[in-house]
Structure 1
């Protein structure tokens, strides 16, 4: 082996070791723990696939995927589509668009813990802003215990997520729309096209790849959601807002079931990997058809 080859390996070694200890080793250990019954302190008992069989029969765990699906669908509308609409509005060239960009993007910069507690105050059934506003306009009968009602808690959290991240997607789509050549707009205006026609026939098709990317981000980040659910409801009431990540925390740190929690984590990883592979194949197929 030449001296240059040895030098190359020396330069790569720190990154490889860091990846092995922080990423690869935890994955391997989680997979290994999923075959044991272990509370983190006592003796580890090999149980084979019993943890996976238990997961299939765990209705709370299975319902958590349904809650994630509802959350993802809601965020696609409240974040991606609303963000696209906001990007279309602020690219019309009207005065004050810069101020609106800052206002819509500000929630993204706030820590999610702060946002969660802020909206817990808004949703408070006794002195919350939402019920007070409904009362002031004569719609007091519409007031609810928003985060304490299984019928409204999940949708209330989805609304908060949309409020936070719509500005993030607005910025992405705004950057894409800004790259569209001005000549296209000028030709459309000469043909008498309205702002809505330009938005629907020019801007949206030209940022189609960004829209697909935004939807993909919603799907993947939906499985990573934790802090918003944990702070606002912690899976309640009656597990109506329980998602996989919050349930994992309860299983591992509250019930002290390391083996079962590891099995749940492995299943979630497989689900995310399958979704990613399917979405990637659909995107490649869509791109080939478009080409």
Structure 2
């Protein structure tokens, strides 16, 4: 008895496949194709080969943007992942009011990043901002700065805002992991005379290590996707000291209308992210193999 071929499964899958193709695959292919042309989006397309890629490797602003991302990622790993881990440890000690603190720490995550950006622009304002007003009130006028207009402080100021927003997000992730640890483990530790710090460092952190590794990797990948916070607060300034790849891409494509060069920058950024992902995956597998052994 021959098996009849049916088109029904393919008809059900077709809308999702077409949507994925037109929103993901086609833009990827077109971006790669445009990277070999000199094109402003309206006029004639001139094939230039690998000239856009050669130009990108000599573009000081573009290369420095990766250094700024590295600083941003390292800072946010401390301000988001490690602070979130510490907050998760504090609210899982079973003290009163932990639920209220959990909600308070998570509140910034629910705010739109545009709102957060403008809010902190007022906080950092050199004339009437909260930070400078507080420093003036306690007699530390020499510490006042134009926080977002100083090349030495602008990037760090943005990193602090990102940490303020996402520390609660990572706290929630780690809190859910700690809650899954059996209570018998804590009881045995208490019977052996362990204090809260020892339980946190010797039991809680090791037992949610996979979540911590995932949080660090998530922090790295989202660091390359950062845009709105930098765009609203400094737009890459002052003097490109907070320029990152995404903000520079927007300027190249929309301000300078250079679609070809912008596409080449996007392709290079994609390759860098893919390489980081492969290295992280290999290190994670190696680490898992060592633990299994």
* Range that drifts further, 281-290 or 3-12: 3-12
Q: TM-score, normalised by structure 1?
A: 0.99
For residues 10-50 of structure 1, the C-alpha deviation after alignment (integer angstroms, 9 at most, x for no partner) is: 11111111111000000000000000000000000000000
The answer to which of 64-73 and 135-144 deviates more is 135-144
Q: How far, CA to CA, are the matches of 2:22 and 2:216 in structure 1? A: 32
Find the residue that maps to 1:146 and give its secondary structure. Answer: coil
2-side partners of 1:225 and 1:268: how far apart?
A: 13
Per mean C-alpha deviation after superposition, the further-off stretch among 261-270 and 10-19 is: 10-19
Q: Partners in 1 of 2:267 and 2:228 — Cα distance? A: 21
TM-superposed CA distance for 1:83, in Å, is: 0.1
Q: What is the aligned partner in structure 1 of residue 166 from structure 2?
A: 165
1:72-83, aligned counterparts within 5 Å?
72-83=73-84
Residues 248-259 of structure 1 mapped to structure 2, 5 A cutoff: 248-259=249-260
> Which residue in the other structure is 1:264 paired with?
265
Q: Name stretches of at least 5 consecutive residues in structure 2 with no aligned partner.
A: none
What residue in structure 2 maps to residue 10 of structure 1?
A: 11
What is the deviation of 1:2? 5.5
1:91 — aligned with what? 92
Residue by residue over 1:174-213, the C-alpha shift from the partner in whole angstroms, topping out at 9 and shown as x without a partner, is: 0000000000000111111100000000000001000000
In structure 2, do the counterparts of structure 1 residues 184 and 262 end up closer, same or farther at CA, with 3 Å as the change threshold?
A: same
| Deviation, structure 1 residue 3 | 5.0
**Alignment of 1:48 onto 2:78:** no
- Which residue does 2:107 correspond to in 1? 106
User: Normalized against structure 2, the TM-score is what?
Assistant: 0.98
Q: Structure 1 residue runs of 4+, over 3 Å off?
A: 1-5
Q: How does 1:16-55 map onto structure 2 within 5 Å? A: 16-55=17-56
Give the Cα–Cα distance (whole angstroms) in 1 for the partners of residues 281 and 6 of structure 2: 36
> C-alpha distance in 2, partners of 1:97/1:140?
37
Give how far 1:134 is off.
1.1
- Show the counterpart of 2:151: 150
Alignment partners' CA distance in 2, 1:230 and 1:34: 24
> In structure 1, what is the equivalent of residue 281 of structure 2?
280
In structure 1, what is the equivalent of residue 225 of structure 2? 224
Give the count of matched residue pairs: 291
The Cα RMSD (Å) is 1.0
* C-alpha separation in 1, matches of 2:138 and 2:291: 50
Distance in 2, Cα, partners of 1:26 & 1:234: 25
Match of 2:59 in 1: 58
Q: Which residue of 2 aligns with 1:135?
A: 136
Question: 1:2 & 1:221 partners in 2: Cα distance?
Answer: 48
Structure 1 residues 3, 127: closer, same or farther in 2, change over 3 A? farther
The C-alpha deviation readout for 1:133-165, integer Å capped at 9, x for no partner, is: 111122121110000000000000000000000
The Cα of 1:9 is off from its aligned counterpart by: 1.2
**Aligned-partner SS, 1:131:** helix
The equivalent residue for 2:234 is: 233
Deviation, structure 1 residue 4:
5.6
Alpha-carbon offset, residue 5 of structure 1 = 3.6
- With over 3 angstroms needed to count, the CA separation of the structure-2 counterparts of 1:21 and 1:44, relative to structure 1, is same
Question: Following TM superposition, by how much is the alpha carbon of 1:267 offset from its aligned partner in structure 2, in angstroms?
Answer: 0.3
SS in 2 for 1:57: coil
Distance 2:250 2:68 in 1: 16
- Cα distance change on mapping 1:142 and 1:16 into 2, 3 Å: same
How much has 1:287 moved relative to structure 2? 1.2
